[in-house]
Amino acid sequence: MKTTPGKDESAAATAAGQLARLRAQAGQARAALARLRQRVFEAERRPDGGREAQLVEANEQLLCSALSARNDADACALTLQEMSRSLRLDALTELPNRLLLLDRFAQAIAHAHRHGTRLALLFLDIDNFKQVNDTFGHAFGDEVLKLAARRLAESVRDVDTVSRHGGDEFLILLTEISQVGDAVDVAGKLTAALGVPGCVDGHEFRLNASIGISIYPDHGEDADTLMARADSAMYSAKRRGLGNCLFGEDCAGEQTDPVEPADARPLTQYERTLLEHDRQHGQLREANAELVLAALTAQDLQAAAERAQQQQKEFLAVMAHELRNPLTSIRLASTMLAQSGTSDPVRMQAIIEREVTRMSRVVGDLLDVSRANTGKLRLERRVADLAGIVDAAAVASGPAMELRRQRFTVQLPARAVALDVDPVRLVQVLGNLLDNASKYTPEGGEIDLAVAIVGDAVEMTVSDSGIGISAEVLPEVFEPFVQDGHAIGFNGVGLGIGLTVVRELVEAHGGSVVATSSGIGQGSRFVVRLPLGG
């Protein structure tokens, strides 16, 4: 019995090449993004009359580069995740597949060789499993295999490996056993775990298993030999009766064919023919099962790719909507400035600066999410007064609340509180929460920011009397681009990344943020918890 992981290794190499190309493209997009940001900075400092037009063009290119970088990063992460999963785990049971088992097997043999220790391989086959599939169907059989896989994994140590070999066969690699009897004890635990009554779809059942055992270096010094000896021993155990366990030496000299116990009568030619037919049928069934699982895995990957593409389309549509209004305002102000004597330059400049600030904030949030996902988010910590941070966030969010005639209250502790934080980032956190509360609270509503010392932490709570959050969306409210259906269009369309930025910044400070809501129309509540002193 030989294992040829060449095809899996080729797929892994192809995936690695694709991943490298995607990373290179993402790097080029980030470099272009840096150049465009420099152009924006230079355009803002130019005194000539074409400043506004150049600023519009630079911002448009900046946004395009940001979107391209985001798409490349998403594609890169999705490719890495899906390929890593498909190449290392069994699709049905999520146990290590043969490729991962062989990798761990090689490491275990090398370790045992260096330290003069032993390891054991158990080849386990569930008895009469074909009757389960024939009686209740393959869907029922798949659930039974999943349950069996969980029980086997729970019966061994964390350093050991349980792998699905194919069909109803499992391989269990036991590292660093002190004596041969340890493998027998583990085999007893495995059969006892499988023998516990189980229930699937209202049907109760018990499982028996036949186990073959091979020991390194007693029965071989390489993975193929040890697997062959354990396989042979398992077939010999199965012929002796259900639930038996045999060592590799009980079938010495045999590699792939089951052998007769010493006390058994010789097999007739007819019985040998039937036995060989059963073996070939089992191998064909295993090959067909692997083919079906591979097809299902390919369908899952295609569905995931289609979902990712749909999310990207929706994101681009929202981004276009978010940027359409500021770009229109900038172009209008620029045109009016070009017509001497027909406009107020100060007012037009204010419009341009307001819309550029809005666009810069959108791009800044996108970059913060990207930095957090790539581990490049950096904080500039220093000891800062919490009251000053709260005041800065309130001042920044005040105009929007005044425009909507909302009542805003702030509650601070009686004593001063100093935190070791990045004050700019913490102002951004509170500003995002206050802006979010104002945006989704009707005119005349109430918004409250309360700060309290709770144990060894400070809690900052932003609550509102707004439209609330639905129970379906609440668990995912901090995920990027997630927006509640009833909130879309209430007060403009957003990108759905403000709360994601809040979570990433708070967690970077070693804190946590939690969202609660009693439901639609019942307001919302966000609690940021940061440790005192850092």
Residues recognised as catalytic:
168
Crossing angle of helices 423-439/386-403, nearest 10°? Answer: 30
Please report where in the chains the tokens 């073959």 appear, as a residue: 212
How far is CA 348 from its chain centroid? 46
Q: How far apart are CA 160 and CA 517, in angstroms?
A: 45
Tell me how far apart the alpha carbons of residues 436 and 499 are, in angstroms, rounded to a whole number.
Answer: 8
Contact 165, 98 (CB under 8 A): yes
Instruction: State the residue for tokens 């995607």.
Output: 22
Q: What are the residues whose beta carbons fall under 8 Å from the beta carbon of 426, sequence distance 6 or more?
A: 384, 389, 419, 505, 509
What are the tokens at 471?
């129970």
Long-range interactions of 247-253: CB distance < 8 A, separation 24+: 247/180, 247/212, 247/213, 247/214, 247/215, 247/219, 248/212, 248/213, 248/214, 248/215, 248/218, 248/219, 248/220, 249/218, 249/219
Tell me which DSSP letter residue 267 carries: P
For residue 232, the one-letter residue type is S
Using CA atoms, how far apart are residues 339 and 334, in angstroms rounded to an integer?
Answer: 9
